[in-house]
Homo-oligomer: A and B are copies of this chain.
Amino acid sequence: MKAYKDMDRDELLTVKAALEEEYKVIEAKGLNLNMARGKPGFSQLALSMPMLDVINSESDMRTVLGNDTRNYGDLDGIGESRKLMADMMSVQKDNVIVCGNSSLNVMYDTIARSVTHGVMGGTPWSKQDKVKFLCPVPGYDRHFKITEFFGIEMINIPLHDDGPDMDMVEKYVNGDAAVKGIWCVPKYSNPTGISYSDEVVRRFANLKPAADDFRIYWDNAYCIHHLYDDVHDEILNILEECEKAGNPDMVYIFSSTSKISFPGSGISAIAASLNNIEHIKKQMSIQTIGHDKINQLRHARFFKDIDGLMAHMKQHAKLLRPKFEAVLNTLESELGGLEIGTWIKPRGGYFVSFDSLPGCAKNIVAKCKDLGVVLTDAGATFPYGKDPNNSNIRIAPTFPTPEEMQEAAEVFVLCVKLASVEKYLTAN
């Protein structure tokens, strides 16, 4: 394959004409496919249906400790769900509060609490002149929306193959007391799929923040979401590393079963040092009498333990692999050698991140939409929705069937090619 950049105008025009023919053929099909959000597919949801039989009218509704899950109580979650989530998050049970159906909501509440009441007794952010957050990019749009909503200034930090650019992170965190946090998806990152190296995690744990109320917002959303049975990414335990480094209170860890059991009907959790947990519980005791303990019991009894969880995740992986392969193989076979885009082959998580030639992402997404394939908005993976290079596109392969995914991937590569040719023709 000849790289587009090496083609002259005539060659580009020839390629363009052929692509436009293809475009018309697909246009006529009237496709309707959605790769916009990281939604589990139908077959994945079916995996968890037996969970709905675990609790029924004949069930003993008491926890192992004898508490009635049907009544008020257990603000930090029932013991068995705390143990399950603790094992999943590689922390101790006492460091975990099991919450409601959404870890996003827990993250929102954590930021909101810091804004109104400060972090662990510190000055509320609303009473501080300036609050900034570091945002490794590309990243998760809903993280950025939370910090934007609270008027927190966001600073882009490049995300490399082994994690965020730690030189920049150290410079900002250690040098600027207005920097209060950093959003991290440390394992199978959203959207690039990379996992943080041991070196990166250790550098995180050894930060010397200028601000006492600086925290790492460690959204370990994909902690057990491996795509393959044999090759797993593993990351260092941030809570332990922070303790070792003398920064025991510096991290909040979030996770949920949204992409394990049911999105919207799973359970979520926050993990942190006992000091942090104590402060969080104080606020939480004002906000609620407790979370849904029957659903906690349902999860604990269905998965039983971490082994049950891991076995369940293998079934998810089996369903997801063909979808990821449809995308990755199509990218490789159709774009290999053209030098019009780069991507990483993830070993887990929910996304494939694609970087087009600078300036092409919005055009690609628009063309895909024209052809009936909805992608996440270009720019969404950056704070304020602004990708300075207009090149990153998040592909979410989980919701369509493998066949649909194949079809969508073909549409995608076509649009990448066409947008790239258009770019070179405009430039020349």
Residue in B40, B49, B71 whose CB lies within 8 Å of A264: B71
Residue in B45, B61, B102, B292 whose CB lies within 8 Å of A68: B45
Please give the number of chain A residues whose Cβ is less than 8 angstroms from any Cβ of chain B in the complex: 55
A149 contacts which chain B residues (CB < 8 A)?
A: 117, 283, 286
A295 contacts which chain B residues (CB < 8 A)?
A: 265, 292, 295
- Give CA–CA (A45, B59) in the complex, Å: 13
Q: Give chain A interface residues in 82-109, CB to chain B under 8 Å.
A: 100-102, 104-105, 108-109
Q: Give chain A interface residues in 292-314, CB to chain B under 8 Å.
A: 292-295
A101 contacts which chain B residues (CB < 8 A)?
A: 100, 291-292
How many subunits of this chain does the assembly comprise? 2
Q: Is there contact, CB below 8 Å, between A294 and B262?
A: yes
Kindly supply a per-residue 1/0 record for chain A positions 47-85, scoring 1 wherever the CB is within 8 Å of any chain B CB and 0 otherwise.
011111101110101000000111111000000000000
Q: Is there contact, CB below 8 Å, between B287 and A105?
A: yes
Q: Which residue of B lies closest to A37 (CB)?
A: B72
User: Is A115 interfacial (CB 8 A cutoff)?
Assistant: yes
Q: Give chain A interface residues in 121-145, CB to chain B under 8 Å.
A: 124, 126, 142, 145
A49 contacts which chain B residues (CB < 8 A)?
A: 57
A112 contacts which chain B residues (CB < 8 A)?
A: 112, 116
A104 contacts which chain B residues (CB < 8 A)?
A: 287-289
- Give CA–CA (A131, B289) in the complex, Å: 25
- Give CA–CA (A68, B126) in the complex, Å: 39
Residue in B55, B56, B71 whose CB lies within 8 Å of A263: B71
Q: Give chain A interface residues in 238-286, CB to chain B under 8 Å.
A: 262-265, 283, 286
Q: Is there contact, CB below 8 Å, between A292 and B289?
A: no
A225 contacts which chain B residues (CB < 8 A)?
A: none
- Give CA–CA (A124, B289) in the complex, Å: 26
Q: Is there contact, CB below 8 Å, between A264 and B72?
A: yes
Residue in B53, B55, B286 whose CB lies within 8 Å of A145: B286
Given contacts A150-B116, A288-B108, contact A40 B283 (CB under 8 A): no
Residue in B69, B264, B288 whose CB lies within 8 Å of A293: B264
List, sorted by A's number, 17 A–B pairs whose CB atoms are closer than 8 Å. Answer: A37-B72, A45-B71, A51-B57, A52-B57, A52-B59, A69-B264, A70-B262, A71-B263, A102-B291, A105-B287, A108-B286, A116-B126, A116-B150, A126-B126, A146-B287, A149-B283, A264-B292
